[in-house]
Amino acid sequence: MPLVRDDGIARFVRNILVGLQQIDHENQYFLFSRAHFALPFESPRWKKQIHRGVPFRLSYASLRTRGRVPALDVFWATGHTFPLGLPAATRKIFTVYDLVWKVCPETMQRENLREFKRFVAKAIAVADKIVTISESTRRGLLDAFKLDPANVRVLYPAPESLFSPLDKGDAAKYIADKYGVSSNYICTVGTIEPRKNIPRLVKAIKLLRDRGGFSHQLLIAGPPGWNCAGIYDCVSQVALTELEVRFLGRVPDEDLRALYAGAALFVYPSIYEGFGIPLVEAMASGAPVVASNAPAIPEVVSDSAVLFSAHSPEDIAEAIRAVLNDAELRRQMVEKGFDRARAFCWEVTAQRMLTVLEEHSRADRHRGELVTLLNLMR
């Protein structure tokens, strides 16, 4: 699953695996995937196996038969289930990226919701350790499942090194020329799906337009997701045009950096996040951030952003207006954003993941003898 699509989960897993290869020179790793993923392996201790057409929830015995995998010390599930029949001696580490299926089930496709309800709670119950991506999600897990706090660890995502400042004018001109949009813009980034709350953001833009003095174009970057048709329609429904709101579709990373850097501000109206990687990408790229006060977001941005209620177009509009009308506030937000983005580091996250893996290796092994990780990807 994670390394096939270029979404937040894919970035999280990919960067941890890259980090583990750089810092761990002793242990062996086995990765299994149902589709090809582009990740280089420079060490013979790292092995990947691609098996197309295998069932979603295959058995551990099938994994060993298909891939000649030795007995495992540790199995790290990066998806939302474990394979059937893992031996009792194999320690199980499970990843929880968010609790959307419990907190905001109405924002999920019905089939996916059923799958999460069926498998995730069971995986949480049998896991020896759970890793998650924010303290907010960790607290939600502890409350919902009555877990031992010592068994739930936070591994923060981070911005990739690509995301760094550019000259704002040059970046805005590049985006304007390439995408045929205004160089005077604000932007948001994310999959076009109900949880990202785009219709309320568009209504906020309508409020700002109607009151006068707002000349920015809203640029919305991200691929189509579940139940997105009505979201695209929301612009015409409030009598706005592409001159005021423009959907850009999926934007490649090299352009995404410029999109953040050239923006007058980055706005993130999400109803719920497990973390919200665009927030740290935007801060690292030098964009002032206004965002909702939904779960995990205040934790990620700390004091570097202006927050608003995700459920109030009026509140969203006021936050945007206040930041755009105060140049000194924007300058301070950008500086604080740089500092906050630097607090998240993939090297630190990979080291913490290695600590979790080694804590659950066989007590009787010699260091470097096995600690085998098998990473299951859909």
> What are the average pLDDT values for consecutive 10-residue runs of the chain, which has 378 residues?
55 91 89 73 79 57 59 85 82 94 89 87 94 97 94 96 96 98 98 96 98 96 92 95 97 95 98 96 98 97 98 98 98 98 97 91 49 47
Cα distance between residue 371 and residue 76, in whole Å: 11
Both 263 and 332 in one domain: the answer is yes
Both 275 and 237 in one domain: the answer is yes
Q: Does any domain span residue 163?
A: no
Amino acid at 140: G
Both 95 and 141 in one domain: the answer is yes
Cα distance between residue 331 and residue 337, in whole Å: 10
Q: Does any domain span residue 76?
A: yes
Q: Which of these, 98, 67, 62, 65, lies nearest to 80 by C-alpha position?
A: 98
280 membership: H or E segment, kind and range: helix 277-284
Number of domains in the chain: 2
Both 13 and 79 in one domain: the answer is yes
Q: Does any domain span residue 360?
A: yes
CA distance readout (Å), 83 to 26, 122, 123, 348, 349? 26, 12, 10, 29, 25
Both 253 and 216 in one domain: the answer is yes
Residue 231 contacts residue 265 (beta carbons within 8 Å): no
Phi/psi region, residue 123 (left: phi>0; alpha: psi -120 to 50; beta: rest), is: alpha
Both 179 and 281 in one domain: the answer is yes
Both 301 and 361 in one domain: the answer is no
Upper half-sphere CA count for residue 21 (Cβ side, 13 Å): 16
Cα distance between residue 43 and residue 56, in whole Å: 29
Spatial neighbors of 257 by CB under 8 A, at least 6 apart, are 162, 163, 164, 166, 171, 281, 285
Both 188 and 85 in one domain: the answer is no
CATH number at residue 241: 3.40.50.2000
pLDDT digit string (tens) for 275-333? 999 999 999 999 999 999 999 999 999 999 999 999 999 999 999 999 999 999 999 99
Q: Does any domain span residue 1?
A: no
238 membership: H or E segment, kind and range: none
Q: What is the CA angle 342-348-353, rounded to 5?
A: 145
Burial class (CB in 10 A: 0-12, 13-18, 19+), 161: exposed
Q: Does any domain span residue 73?
A: yes
Burial class (CB in 10 A: 0-12, 13-18, 19+), 77: buried
What the block records as the tokens of 279 is: 């927030």
Q: Does any domain span residue 315?
A: yes
Q: Does any domain span residue 280?
A: yes
What the block records as the tokens of 139 is: 């607290």
Both 198 and 136 in one domain: the answer is no
Both 291 and 188 in one domain: the answer is yes
Q: What is the CA radius of gyration of the chain?
A: 22
Phi, psi of 150 (to 5 degrees): -70, -15
Q: Which residue has the tokens 């500092």?
A: 339
Both 324 and 355 in one domain: the answer is no
Q: Does any domain span residue 150?
A: yes
DSSP classification of residue 306: E
49 membership: H or E segment, kind and range: strand 46-50
Cα distance between residue 344 and residue 338, in whole Å: 11
Both 301 and 373 in one domain: the answer is no
Domain that holds residue 143: 8-158+345-377
Residue 94 contacts residue 124 (beta carbons within 8 Å): yes
Cα distance between residue 308 and residue 171, in whole Å: 27
